[in-house]
Structures are given as structure tokens and as C-alpha cells.
Structure 1
Amino acid sequence: MPRPEAGPDTPLRVNRAPVLTLWAAVVAERLGHPPDTALSLASHVAGTAARAKARRLGITESHPEEARAPLAPRHETVRLLGRDVPVVRDAAGTLLAASGGEAPTPAAPARAYVAKAFGPRLGEAREALEALAASLDPERLNREGFRLYEAFRPEVPPDARGWGAKGELHLRRIREAAG
């Protein structure tokens, strides 16, 4: 039996991580970063949030030796959604999030991840998020953006059962928040 077509008020079934990745990329672009930099920074923000939640849920553990490890060389940082993201430049000079020391985090995997998660409704989701981002001045958006995400993110169980679960993302709520 064919599935009914999605309308503008039909929620998307999606995991929280790609929603945060797309939102952080939209916010980074609103702050003036080019798309590849924005996706790289967004990937770092979403990954950091996922690791913190995994530790809170007891899915992964913090390792005492990590806490005692020597500090990595200092990086320039970019503030995004309340997080300081270490950054480096790739061979072409593009500013990207630093992963594992000096290695830049490429944008392509984040782009593919978000495209797969949102499927044919990626453009629709991006438009709603861009409208919300445009409704606030960049400084306020960066400061309050994570709280905004918490207000519209998909609902999933708050415990380990919610880890990796898809929830409903209501684009209507995002559009209404944009005013």
C-alpha cells in the first residue's frame, strides 16, 4: 500500500542527532561561516552532545586516564551553541573543527548523514530552521540556540531506550517559533 504524501504539517520521523547537526549548521551559517565550515562545526557540536548524553545514561564511561592525559596543544576555538569548538585549517585553508588533535573534521560525512536522515524533506526542514535562525540577531541566536533546539527537538524516551530512537520533528512548531 503506498504511503500518504507528506504535507507541511506532517511530522518527520528522525533521530535527534541529525536534527542538532542541521540546526547547528544553520546557526553557524547565520553567524557567517561558509557551508563546509558550518557542517564541520555542527558535526563537532552534535558529537559532543551525544557523548555527554551517553555518559549520563551510562552507555559509555569516562576513563580516568583521559582526565589525566596531557593537554592537547591549544587550538583556536569558535563558539557555537554554547560550546567552544577547537578549529584548524585544512590544506586548502578552510576553517574546520579539529578532531583528534590536529586533524580537521571534513564536512562531507556530516552532509551525507543529514541528507540520509531527512531524506526528501531535507529542504523543507532546512527552510524552517533557516527562518527561525533569521528571526533572531546572530549573537542572541548563538547564545540561545541550544535552548531553542531543546524546545523543538524530537521527543524520545529520556532514558537509554531513547538512545538512537526516532521521534517526531514538527516543522510547524519551528515555523511558529520563527514568528
Structure 2
Amino acid sequence: MATTPIRVNRAPVLTLWAAVVAERLGHPPETALSLASAVAGTAARAKARRLGLAEEHAGDAADRPAGPRRTVRLLGREIPVVETPDGLLAAEPDGKAAKPGAVAAYVARAFGERLADVRAVMETLAAGPAPEELNRIGFRLYEAFRPEVPSDVTGWGAKAVLDLDRIRSAAG
């Protein structure tokens, strides 16, 4: 029986993958979702600047409150975090905590009934390397399985097929 192709844009794929990696690093699900949203957001902003869809500026750090801050490294990015009564969460540019519930809803909408399938395959891939190694190579793994879209402006937000077999073979 053939399964329906999963048509999705890259942002929710990166978000889910980053959450899976964060959980493998030992972060609780709420923290993982919050961090994953920040990873996907920084990647989207960088691509928007590269494509000329957003202006270059001094960097995202300029939008953050001054003073000492705590960060968590995930997939090559330093994510500012804040301690909340619900645990550690990514910090938005205004310093407030990113809401993991909104991230979970976003990912659920993007993958629909195939979310469990995609997550299971990603978890299997993430279980291979040691956690520190996974964090080091995780973005390259994502690049190996992400949906293929045009690299120019026409690919911005475009949906393409996410191939579960490409995720399965990404480690090899």
C-alpha cells in the first residue's frame, strides 16, 4: 500500500528536527520545541537576508536586551534562553520566553496525520550518533534530507516532498 507523499516547506522540517535533536541532548519536550523554533527562525532570517527579502543589519543580537545572558548551543546556533516557572525556554528578541505550545501546534499543522511517522524516522536517525556529535553534525544531516526547493526566491516558503527514505539514509 502506497503512502501519501508528505508535502511541506522546509521551516517545519527544520523545527521538528531541531526539537528531536534537542530532546536527544536531554532537554524536556517544552524546552526542545522552544529552542527548535529559535533555530528555524535564525535560519529563516539568514536565508531572507541572503535572498534580499530582508535587510542586513548588525545581527539578531542587536535586537536582544543588553546584559549577561545564558545560551544553549543547538545545531550550530547559540540560542538565548530564559528560566521560567515551566523550565528553560528560548528567549524572543524582546526577552520574553518563546511559547512551546504555539510551536507544537505549528508542527502539527504542517505534518498533519503524518507527524508521528516523520518524528519516528527522525528519532531513529538522531539515536545513531552520540548526543554531542549529533549536535555538531545535525544541521548537515538536515541538509541531506530536507525537501528540495529552488534555492532562489521562488523556493521561499515553497512546499516540496519530504522523503522519509532520505531521512533514513542521511546517516550513511
Work out whether the TM-score is over 0.5.
yes
TM bucket (normalised to shorter chain) is over 0.9
Structure 1 stretch displaced more, 131-140 or 59-68: 59-68
Matched, 1:105 2:105: no
Matched, 1:31 2:28: no
Q: Find the aligned partners of 1:177 and 1:36 in 2 and give their Cα distance.
A: 26
Q: CA RMSD in A?
A: 2.1
Counterparts in 2 of 1:69 and 1:59: CA distance versus 1, 3 Å: closer
Matched, 1:125 2:118: yes
Unaligned runs of 5+ residues in structure 2 are none
The runs of at least 4 consecutive aligned structure 1 residues that moved more than 3 Å come to 63-71
Partner of 1:75: 69
Q: Find the aligned partners of 1:110 and 1:139 in 2 and give their Cα distance.
A: 24
Counterparts in 2 of 1:69 and 1:42: CA distance versus 1, 3 Å: closer
Compute the TM-score of the two structures, normalised by the length of structure 1. Answer: 0.89
Structure 1 stretch displaced more, 78-87 or 101-110: 101-110
Partner of 1:169: 162
Deviations 1:55-111 (A, max 9, x none): 000011124698877962221110000000000012x14100011242010101110
Is this contact kept in 2: 1:11–1:171, CA < 8 A? no
Q: Find the aligned partners of 1:69 and 1:120 in 2 and give their Cα distance.
A: 37
Q: Which amino acid aligns with 1:125?
A: V
Is this contact kept in 1: 2:23–2:32, CA < 8 A? yes
Name which of 81, 93, 97 aligns with 1:87: 81
Is this contact kept in 1: 2:141–2:171, CA < 8 A? no
Q: Which amino acid aligns with 2:111?
A: F
Counterparts in 2 of 1:57 and 1:107: CA distance versus 1, 3 Å: same
Partner of 2:38: 44
Q: Which amino acid aligns with 2:131?
A: P
Summarize the alignment of residues 1-20 of structure 1 with structure 2, pairs less than 5 Å apart.
7=3, 10-20=4-14
Structure 1 residue 174: deviation in Å?
A: 1.0
Structure 1 residue 26: deviation in Å?
A: 0.1
Q: Find the aligned partners of 1:21 and 1:79 in 2 and give their Cα distance.
A: 15
Counterparts in 2 of 1:95 and 1:53: CA distance versus 1, 3 Å: same
Is this contact kept in 2: 1:72–1:101, CA < 8 A? no
Partner of 2:128: 135
Aligned length: 172
Matched, 1:145 2:138: yes
For 2:80, what is the secondary structure of its paired residue? strand
Is this contact kept in 1: 2:11–2:44, CA < 8 A? yes
Q: Which amino acid aligns with 1:109?
A: A
Summarize the alignment of residues 48-63 of structure 1 with structure 2, pairs less than 5 Å apart.
48-63=42-57
- Percent identity over the alignment? 65
